[in-house]
Amino acid sequence: MAIQVQVCETFISIQGESTWAGMPCFFIRLAGCNLHCVYCDTGYAQSGGEPATVSELVEKFRKTGLGLVAVTGGEPLIQPGTTALLQELQSCGTVLIETNGSRDISGIPPAVIAVMDIKCPSSGESEATDWKNMQRLRPRDEVKFVVGGREDYLWASGVMREHDLTKRCQAVLMSPVSDLLAPAELAAWILRDRLPVRLNLQLHKIIWSPTTRGV
Ligand code: SF4
Ordered per-residue pLDDT tens for the chain, 215 residues: 799 999 999 999 999 999 999 999 999 999 999 999 999 988 899 888 999 999 999 999 999 999 999 999 999 999 999 999 999 999 999 999 999 999 999 999 999 999 999 999 999 999 999 999 999 999 999 999 999 999 999 999 999 999 999 999 999 999 999 889 999 999 999 999 999 999 999 888 888 876 666 65
Q: 59-90 burial, b for 16+ CB within 10 Å, e for fewer?
A: ebbeebebebbbbbbbbbbbbebbbbbbbbbe
Cβ–Cβ < 8 Å for 66, 60: no
Cβ–Cβ < 8 Å for 110, 84: no
- In single-letter form, the type of residue at position 35 comes to L
Q: What is the pLDDT of residue 214?
A: 64
Residue nearest to atom 8 of ligand 1 (CA): 40
Residue nearest to atom 6 of ligand 1 (CA): 37
CA 103–ligand 1 middle distance (angstroms): 13
Q: Which domains, ranges and CATH numbers included, belong to the chain?
A: 4-207 (3.20.20.70)
Q: What is the pLDDT of residue 175?
A: 97
Q: Which H helix or E strand runs over 77?
A: none
Q: What is the pLDDT of residue 211?
A: 66
Q: What is the pLDDT of residue 179?
A: 86
Residue nearest to atom 3 of ligand 1 (CA): 74
DSSP state of 195: -
Whether a cis peptide bond, with omega within 30° of 0, leads into 107 is no
Pocket test for ligand 1, best of 41, 46, 100, 175 (most atoms within 8 A of CB): 100
Q: What is the pLDDT of residue 215?
A: 58
Q: What is the pLDDT of residue 178?
A: 86
